[in-house]
Structure 1
Amino acid sequence: MDHAELTTEQVLKRDIPWETYMTTKLITGTCLQLLRRYDKRSESHRSQLLDDDGPAYVQVFVGILRDIFKEETVEYVLALIDEMLAANPKRARLFHDGTIVDKDIYEPFLRLLWKGNWFIQEKSCKILALIVSARPKPQDGTVANGDASNSKRKITTIDDVLKGLVEWLCAQLRKPSHPSRGIPTAVNCLATLLKEPVVRSSFVQLDGVKLLVPLISPASTQQSIQLLYETCLCIWLLSYYEPAIEYLATSRTLPRLLEVVKSSTKEKSCCFDPRNLLSKGTFGAQMVDLGLPQIVQSLKAQAWSDEDLLEGLNQLEEGLKDNIKKLSSFDKYKQEVLLGHLDWSPMHKDPIFWRENITNFEENDFQILRVLITILDTSSDPRALAVACFDISQFVQQHPAGRIIVTDLKAKERVMKLMNHENAEVTKNALLCIQRLFLGAKYASFLQA
């Protein structure tokens, strides 16, 4: 049978030879007694057993996964646990009960993420996510799964679990083990786990954010709408983590999100709330430039039944209005440069803009100037090349150390190459830039574009 398409129902039809495992001492007599009471019984009977002696059954299941490696048995026990948690997710708390002797409840599931077939991987991921989410808050002197921090026995800590889970989730996003379920399973799990600070930092360190961006596109089928919803939820959770914001701001994330919102015909697909990002970095400028105020007005005109959604749209509209008022011209300029979308907007040739903002170019070790110089190498758009040359020449003219800084950053050679460009606008502005580089600021001011 194809393990990729195996179902819980099919697995639970198997007969597992528990007595044989006791004979070979892989399980104890007590374990056998508990399994005989539980296995193949009605749901109501199993539910009563779990209510009466839940931690004991958890101990048995975890012990089997730790000590027995036969694939059919591992699949069977994972199916039992999955069935138990599906009937009542609160049962995940049983794994953290103080009476459980084996404190390393995470290790078998973490190991099976990488060792097993797709059925085993998917169940282990789902179960791990539920167990992790159900854990009690750590107290002084303890680690998150309950064992004393001064214990001599090495156990799997919650940080080990979360980092291991994130590695597997990123691996699924890069190269899914299952063609249709690998990515949805990973995103669903991330949407639960990204509330954890350790998960956010590990996910960003593993370049996970860029793996989510391609998944942000207008959806049509119910399955793709669910995936889009959970992807947007992941992005929203990441928006509370500064290192993730840096990547989101300089990638195509926001344009993709707004394209999704613009095409939303169902409330669930209109799920991303960008209010948290309004005050973050250059997101406010991006939202205005990408036409979010108009999109919000259009969405408000639709007959949504969700009052929370309508309230959110109203708040977003007010936030955008405030943002437009506060938005400085340099914020807009910075965003234009970072996105590489250079055009002859009024600020480029506005002397007041350059006089008032020239010191802003010193931020982050002249980041914006460095990006302008990089555009000379990377852009194939003649307009962007021309504007970049002009702006570099403006920096040379306006900044007291402009010539020295631009020369040290090796911009002169790049600009000189563009003097032979086929586009007249590019050659004109490249020439102007070179003239200003060869002349001092005192004489450069006489040159006009």
Structure 2
Amino acid sequence: MDIRGAVDAAVPTNIIAAKAAEVRANKVNWQSYLQGQMISVEDCDFIKKFEVANSEDKQTILTKEGNQCAKTFLNLMAHISKEQTVQYILTLIDDTLQENHQRVNIFFDYAKKTKNTAWSYFLPMLNRQDLFTVHMAARIIAKLAAWGRDLMEGSDRNYYFNWIKTQLSSQSSQYVQCVAGCLQLMLRVNEYRFAWVEADGVNCITAVLSNKCGFQLQYQMIFCVWLLAFSPQLCEQLRRYNVVPALSDIFQESVKEKVTRIILAAFRNLLEKSAERETRQEYALAMIQCKVLKQLENLDQQKYDDEDITDDIKFLLEKLGESVQDLSSFDEYSSELKSGRLEWSPVHKSEKFWRENAVRLNEKNYELLKILTRLLEVSDDPQVIAVAAHDVGEYVRHYPRGKRVIEQLGGKQLVMNHMHHEDQLVRYNALLAVQKLMVHNWEYLGKQLQSTEQSTPAVAARS
């Protein structure tokens, strides 16, 4: 799947397109504005000439009078308060830029003369009351920023990205797909990808995806992940976010081919663009952990007209197949823990695993232990809490200084907090973990635990 062209195709023709058609049909009586001395003769003459010109004549006008065009558009926008007319002007500007991307330069040239930035005229419009005006201005800003010769930087960019995040987070606006389209356009530019990640934009994307949004918004948000993963350095940074589990959940349930296609492309980018072998392996393990391999095998049985889908399935099957062969029990455990989706897989109950690997939970400044204790604090899934409590107990049982480490990380108190949990398996595993944290005679406890675990159902029933 090629980045060129795909981004433009992805900006949806949604509610904004329907409203724009309605706005275009309501021609403005410029003469009345001139008579009311609200606009100048110069601006009136230009706009009347420009709006009736065909595509070829428009290009000629813009080549000769680009500065006048920008000046007239911005003067009209600034001096007319009637919302319907402002909507018309913005639609005319958006149409002009959409016809030819190079036309953004008329605003850059004009802004340079007036010592402004091209988007400075449109950013204040994001605070207007009328939703069509706001979102048409947002579209124009995205086009200027993505197609222009200068990059949007500093406070302007921060303001625009924060506005996008707020709009996506609320998801209440009927124009939310338009907002997503603006982000898609911005993220085709490498510098904006880094700025978006720095602005905590990935958490915003995963939050939207986990919020059961419609398939079109799913597609757009995953498209943004696909774009981010074109930058090798960002592939490293994206490891910090639960991108793979978020995409995997949708991958299992999606019935829309366009959504499946973009998820496959995003997965492929994460594996293909990552510069570090360790990063590629981590993504592959996360996909295996999230049962992507099984879904790929199912999809491989089907026929697709789109060659990209077939190619991506083959690529992913091959890469994940290689990773499965290299998979150690510790890799499997580490991947499961990082996904935050603990289940009673065999490694948790394996005495051999804990004997050989407990000390490895200390690696990278206790990275895995910190994740384990964090799950005890933030998860609301009883199974995850029960498994996490069990694992804390096994760690302190097999690592001599484990009790002190768990106490320093706040894990002891977190386990104790779950001793009165409403779920009986959580209570049971928290109780066992606390016993392991307290006791000094391991041999005695080992015998006690053995007899306790054999009577687990009875214990659970009484608790």
Q: TM-score range by the shorter chain?
A: 0.7 to 0.9
2:334 aligned with 1:321: no
CA distance in 1, matches of 2:111, 2:165: 35
CA distance in 2, matches of 1:206, 1:289: 21
Residue identity in the other structure for 2:142: A
1:407-430 deviation digits (Å, cap 9, x = unpaired): 334444554566677887666655
Q: Could you tell me whether the CA contact under 8 Å between 2:30 and 2:48 is conserved in 1?
A: no
Answering whether residue 307 of structure 2 is matched by residue 307 of structure 1, we say yes
User: Does the 8 Å contact 1:163/1:198 carry over to 2?
Assistant: no
Provide structure 2 residue ranges, at least 5 long, that are not aligned to the other structure: 1-15, 272-278, 451-463
| Paired positions, count | 417
- The aligned runs of 1:98-247 (5 Å cut-off) are 101-102=113-114, 103-136=116-149, 144=151, 158-176=153-171, 178-179=173-174, 182-195=175-188, 196-201=192-197, 203-204=199-200, 207-214=203-210, 225-239=215-229, 240=231, 241=234, 242-247=236-241
2:167–2:176 contact (8 Å) kept in structure 1 = yes
Secondary structure, counterpart of 2:303 in structure 1: coil
Distance 1:343 1:99 in 2: 58
Q: 1:399 to 1:64 in 2, by over 3 A?
A: same
Aligned equivalent of 1:152: none
CA distance in 2: counterparts of 1:418 and 1:247, whole angstroms? 27
- Farther off after superposition, 419-428 or 369-378: 419-428
One-letter code aligned to 2:219: Y
- Structure 1 residue aligned with 2:461: none
Query: Which residue number in structure 1 is paired with residue 262 of structure 2?
Result: 271
Q: Following the alignment from structure 1 to structure 2, what is the Cα–Cα distance between the partners of residues 75 and 289? A: 50
Equivalent-residue separation in structure 2 for 1:292 and 1:234 (angstroms): 20
| Residues 428/73 of structure 1: CA separation in 2 closer, same or farther (3 Å cut) | closer
Match of 1:298 in 2: 298
Deviation at 1:442, TM superposition (A): 6.9
3-state SS, counterpart of residue 118 of structure 2: coil
Unaligned runs of 5+ in 1: 139-143, 145-156, 218-223
8 A Cα contact 1:375 1:388, kept in partner? yes
Evaluate the alpha carbon distance shift between residue 294 and residue 399 of structure 1 in structure 2; reply closer, same or farther with a 3 A threshold.
Answer: same
The structure-2 alpha-carbon separation of the partners of 1:123 and 1:421, relative to structure 1 and needing over 3 Å to count, comes to closer
Deviation digits for residues 203-256 of structure 1 (CA, Å, limit 9, x no counterpart): 526942244213666xxxxxx55433222201223445355442225x850332
Q: Tell me the secondary structure at the aligned position of residue 342 of structure 1.
A: coil
Cross-structure match for 2:3? none
User: Deviation string for 1:63-122 (max 9, x for gaps)?
Assistant: 333454443332221122122233334423433347963343211211112224112112
Which residue is equivalent to 2:99?
Answer: 87
Q: Which of 61, 65, 69 is residue 57 of structure 1 equivalent to?
A: 69
1:294 and 1:375, CA in 2 relative to 1: closer, same or farther beyond 3 A? Answer: closer
Q: 1:379-417 CA distances to partner (integer Å, 9 max, x unpaired)?
A: 676655554343222211222311222233444455456
| Aligned mates of 1:427, 1:202 — CA distance in 2 | 40
1:418-437 map, 5 Å: 429-430=429-430, 432-437=432-437
For the pair 1:360 / 2:354, whether they are aligned, the reply is no
Instruction: Output the CA distance in 2 between the equivalents of 1:385 and 1:45.
Output: 68
Gap change, CA 1:68 and 1:201, over 3 Å in 2: farther
Q: Structure 1, residues 108-154: CA drift from partner, whole Å, max 9, x if none?
A: 21111222411211211111111111112x5xxxxx4xxxxxxxxxx
How many angstroms apart in 2 are the aligned matches of 1:83 and 1:337?
50
- Aligned to 2:134, the other structure's residue is in SS state helix
**C-alpha deviation, 1:302, in angstroms:** 1.6
Deviations 1:36-61 (A, max 9, x none): 42244445543432243334312321
- Residue among 69, 86, 89 paired with 1:74: 86
Counterparts of 2:65 and 2:347, CA distance in 1:
72
TM, length-normalised to structure 2: 0.76
* Residue of structure 1 equivalent to 2:394: 394
C-alpha displacement of 1:314: 1.3
State the alpha-carbon separation in 1 of the partners of residues 259 and 427 from structure 2. Answer: 50
Answer whether contact 1:22 1:32 (CA < 8 A) is retained.
no
- Distance (whole Å) between structure 2 residues aligned to residue 28 and residue 296 of structure 1: 64
- Structure number with the higher helix fraction is 2
Q: Quick one: which amino acid aligns to residue 404 of structure 1? A: R
Aligned-partner residue type, residue 304 of structure 1: Y
Task: Return closer, same or farther for 1:63/1:159 CA change in 2, 3 Å cut-off.
Answer: farther
The amino acid that maps onto 1:270 is R
Can you list the C-alpha shifts for 1:354-401, whole angstroms capped at 9, x where unaligned?
244333312454343344345556667665555434322221122231
Structure 1 pair 350/6, CA: closer, same or farther in 2 (3 Å)?
closer
Q: Which moved more, 1:334-343 or 1:435-444?
A: 435-444
Do the aligned partners of 1:114 and 1:121 also contact (CA within 8 Å) in 2? yes
Q: For the structure 1 residues 321 and 176, does the alpha-carbon distance in structure 2 shift closer, same or farther, using more than 3 Å as the test?
A: closer
Amino acid at match of 2:58: R
TM superposition shift of 1:7: 3.4
- 2:26 pairs with 1:13: yes
Q: In the alignment, which residue of structure 2 is the partner of 1:150? A: none
The Cα shift of 1:444 comes to 7.1
CA distance in 1: counterparts of 2:313 and 2:73, whole angstroms:
48
CA spacing shift, 1:296–1:216, aligned 2, 3 Å: farther
TM-score relative to the length of structure 1: 0.78
In the superposition, relative to structure 1, how do residues 376 and 178 fare at CA in structure 2: closer, same or farther (>3 Å)?
A: closer
1:8–1:121 CA distance, 2 compared to 1 (3 A): farther
CA RMSD across the alignment: 3.7
CA distance in 2, matches of 1:73, 1:381: 53
Percentage of identical aligned residues:
25
